[in-house]
Amino acid sequence: MSSPVETMRAVVASRPGGPDVLETVLRPRPVPGEGEILLRVEAAGVNRPDVLQRMGIYPPPPGASDVLGLEAAGFVVARGAKAERHAQGARVTALVPGGGYADYCVVHETIALPIPAGLTMVEAAAVPETYFTVWVNVFDRGALKSGETLLVHGGTSGIGTTAIVLAKAFGAKVVATAGSDERASRCEGLGADLGVNYRTDDFVGRTLAATNGRGADVVLDMIGGDYVARNYAAAAPDGRIVQIAFMQGQKATVDLRVIMQKRLIHTGSTLRSRSVAEKAAIADALMAKVWPLVESGNCRPIIDSVFPLAKVAEAHARIESADHVGKIVLTT
């Protein structure tokens, strides 16, 4: 006689729409496959891509769970065949292709990392999505070095707060933009050398002034639209502009001469659709280069607020309000 399937709570979007379409349903507890581990989720991070998925404009990649959630922290409670990296009962935090907003989720063992000493489960759950993204785009593709200047837009966002904290930990100067004076000074409170209220101030002029006219060596941009030409204007010679989203628009008109005159590189990337092997390489780099900084207290995730899983709609309303600073986290 086969044993009954064990169930768990999981959050899905019943149809495209606002936070009210989020539904907590009962689903079979997933079973880890080869190289995978099963996590008992204690906390799960909320990210803007979850909002886009809920709206129906960012579907999960083929093979990924339709359950929302791109990151989760918890305990290893089962291991699939050949999964040996994390012991039963270990505390790990993981980047997941979907499925984080649930009591349990499966993840390949290579993209789960031991929770750095000193971090709570809530803090640990707030790390993977933004740390993987910032590492790849600012430090890998953008090649930010100590002593250089980073211009980051959306400075109070989950991504933006991580970019500020990590760039400072690696010895860079940081200019961050945000939507009010108060939010710009919150960026400075997190370590940014300059916070710019983009609604009342010109980030191009302020970045050039803050760098003796040289400009930013790396620009991390999630806005797109008319920011693209302005990013080129704010960039230093040999600057790198890294596109990770386009909240204002995916099309832009630019003067290509600026790219040639300043020898700019405009690149970008998206994390979710990358292969397990590519994500594992990022995880290894984080473990080697960033985990020691977290453990020594040089950088920490910035937590805005925490909601129980049952209040997931409130968590989404909060991220959409754009009143938050840092990460919003769900607890099971």
Ligand X SMILES: NC(=O)c1ccc[n+]([C@@H]2O[C@H](COP(=O)([O-])OP(=O)(O)OC[C@H]3O[C@@H](n4cnc5c(N)ncnc54)[C@H](OP(=O)(O)O)[C@@H]3O)[C@@H](O)[C@H]2O)c1
Minimum distance from CB of 22 to ligand X (Å)?
16
Question: Residue 156 interacts with ligand X (CB under 6 A)?
Answer: yes
CB 83 within 8 A of CB 36: yes
Structure tokens at 59: 């579907």
CB 312 within 8 A of CB 330: yes
DSSP string, 122-180: HHHHTSHHHHHHHIIIIIIIS---TT-EEEESSTTSHHHHHHHHHHHHTT-EEEEEESS
Nearest to residue 202, comparing CAs of 147, 151, 264? 151
Minimum distance from CB of 31 to ligand X (Å)?
28
Q: How far apart are CA 269 and CA 286, in angstroms?
A: 17
Q: How far apart are CA 56 and CA 71, in angstroms?
A: 19
Which amino acid, one-letter code, is at 66? D
Nearer to ligand X, 29 or 324 (CB): 324
CB 220 within 8 A of CB 142: yes
103-142 residues near ligand X, rule: CB under 6 A: 129, 133
Q: What angle do CA 115, 320, 43 make, to 5 degrees?
A: 20
Minimum distance from CB of 331 to ligand X (Å)?
18
3-state SS assignment for residue 42: strand
Q: Which of 55, 247, 293, 306 binds ligand X (CB under 6 A)?
A: 247
**Binding range to ligand X, per CB under 6 A, among 91-99, 153-161, 229-237, 250-258:** 153-161
Q: How far apart are CA 59 and CA 75, in angstroms?
A: 28
Q: What angle do CA 226, 180, 128 make, to 5 degrees?
A: 75
**Binding range to ligand X, per CB under 6 A, among 103-111, 201-209, 265-273, 283-291:** 265-273
State the DSSP code for 97: S
Nearer to ligand X, 32 or 100 (CB): 100
Give me the 302-321 binding string for ligand X, x by CB under 6 A, dash otherwise.
-----------------x--
Nearer to ligand X, 48 or 79 (CB): 48
Nearer to ligand X, 67 or 303 (CB): 303
Give me the 210-229 binding string for ligand X, x by CB under 6 A, dash otherwise.
------------xx------
Minimum distance from CB of 52 to ligand X (Å)?
6
**Binding range to ligand X, per CB under 6 A, among 28-36, 73-81, 120-128, 268-276:** 268-276
Total residues in contact with ligand X, by rule CB under 6 A: 24
Question: Residue 65 interacts with ligand X (CB under 6 A)?
Answer: no
175-194 residues near ligand X, rule: CB under 6 A: 178-179, 183
Q: What is the binding site for ligand X (CB under 6 A)?
A: 47-49, 129, 133, 154, 156-159, 178-179, 183, 222-223, 244-245, 247-248, 269-271, 319, 322
